[in-house]
Amino acid sequence: MRSIGEMARDSGLSVSSLRFYDGAGVLVPVWVDPVSGYRWYGPEQLAESRLLARLRRAGMPLADIRLVLAGWAGADTDLVRSLLQAHLLRLELGLSDARSEFSAVRALLERRENPMTVSSTAPDTTAVLFTVAAPELAAALDSVRFAVGSDPELPMLGGVLFDIEGEELRVVATDRYRLAVARAGTGGYAGPRTQVIVPTPLADAMRALLSEDAPARFALDGDRLSLESGDRQAAGQCLDHEFPDYRRLVRLPAGRRVLVEVPAFREAVESGPSRQAERGRDGVVCELSVLTVTEGGTVAVCGDGDEGQGAVAVNREFLLHALAAGARDRLVLELGAPTAPVAIRRPGDEDTFSLLMPVRLDG
């Protein structure tokens, strides 16, 4: 028999994934210690676990995987082959549809990048100069840093967006699953709206300089951004990518707003019930907190069967990060439909907030 740790090592599935598949009834251990709850797996389950990992990487739904494993264990090769063929057909149809849609999108992109009319105006090479109060910028960066992406396939999300417009600087970060926006006032700039993506190491280096109660002076010359604070400086190249239009992403239908006491709510999230779910098709398992607004107007963390119709599930780790980034003893949680993002806002400050993408509970 293999312990859950040995099974994880030999199968390529994580321990949390094995727990999740046990709870989902997909790969149930042959014996569970009634005292410790520790899981033990039989020799034949190693091949099943490796098969399970392959099927999940191929994007097969859990309901079909249950049937494949049952057919595999019962040597029902006809059932297994038919399920594999049906899933492959779905993938091929989906790929055909995706290629057709992407072809249309590329054509639209070509027209945007190569318009028929060419402007005769020479590009503006004037450096962008502005100042920001160091404490304001430090607080803004602290509010969004947790949401910076790290996926190498999405390099445009691997930094903090600096969006300068008039007397306002908005800093924005997102990794697709969460988005954070904060604001700082600027001085000395009256030019057109300008956006640059500051790579994470440079943004962190700038944050380390913002310890003095003095203006931070910025200079953007082409794709090079520098910050001076006192007699210290941090400078580097901005990312040569386009950041998503975050202003479209934050236009949400109005939800129900509830003021929460952060220390008590954090404790409820950390110690309250949770459930596991896979994030995407890469087999990554995350802990979810299911939130609902009670009749008394408070936000409760629900257990199985207690969530009610309007409950919203979010990644528990991301929720705790957002609460910490809010940096207040009281925050406003805004919950809309189960498919709408959860907003975490500062009372009286509409310019600094976080959004957490909901997670479907039906697997």
Question: What is the 3 state secondary structure string of 116-131?
Answer: CCCCCCCCCCCCEEEE
Which residue ranges make up each domain of the chain?
1-121, 129-246, 253-356
Same fold for the domain at 1-121 and the one at 129-246? no
* Three-state secondary-structure class, residue 271: helix
180 in Cβ contact with 174 (< 8 Å): yes
CATH architecture label of 129-246 = Roll (3.10)
| Strand partners for 335 | 256
Q: For the structural domain made of 1-121, what CATH number should be given?
A: 1.10.1660.10
Is the CA virtual torsion 269, 271, 276, 279 positive or negative? positive
Q: Choose the weakest-confidence range: 5-19, 31-45, 101-115, 343-357.
A: 101-115
Does the pLDDT of residue 159 top 80, yes or no? yes
Q: For the structural domain made of 253-356, what CATH number should be given?
A: 3.10.150.10
Neighbour count for residue 9 (Cβ, 10 Å): 12
Most confident segment among 79-88, 114-123, 163-172: 163-172
Torsions phi, psi of 210, nearest 5?
Answer: -90, 55
Does the pLDDT of residue 129 top 70, yes or no? yes
Task: Tell me the mean pLDDT in the region 137-161.
Answer: 93
Task: Tell me the mean pLDDT in the region 220-249.
Answer: 88
Q: 99: which 2 tokens?
A: 């290629």
Residue 284 or residue 47, greater confidence = 47
Burial class (CB in 10 A: 0-12, 13-18, 19+), 233: middle
Q: Rounded to an integer, what distance in angstroms lies between the CA atom of residue 173 and that of residue 219? A: 21
**Strands of the sheet with 2-3, listed across from one edge:** 2-3, 39-41, 31-32
Does the pLDDT of residue 111 top 70, yes or no? yes
What percentage of the chain's residues is helix, strand, coil (to nearest 5)?
A: 35, 30, 35
Counting residues of the chain whose pLDDT is more than 70, the rounded percentage is 93
The residues, any chain, with a CB within 8 Å of residue 202's CB and separated by 6 or more, are 159, 225, 234, 235, 236
Long-range contacts of 265-269 (CB under 8 A, 24+ apart): 265/299, 265/323, 266/320, 266/323, 268/300, 268/301, 269/301, 269/316, 269/319, 269/320, 269/323
- The amino acid that residue 102 corresponds to is F
pLDDT tens figures, 275-284? 887 765 556 7
pLDDT tens figures, 117-126? 444 334 444 5
* Three-state secondary-structure class, residue 194: strand
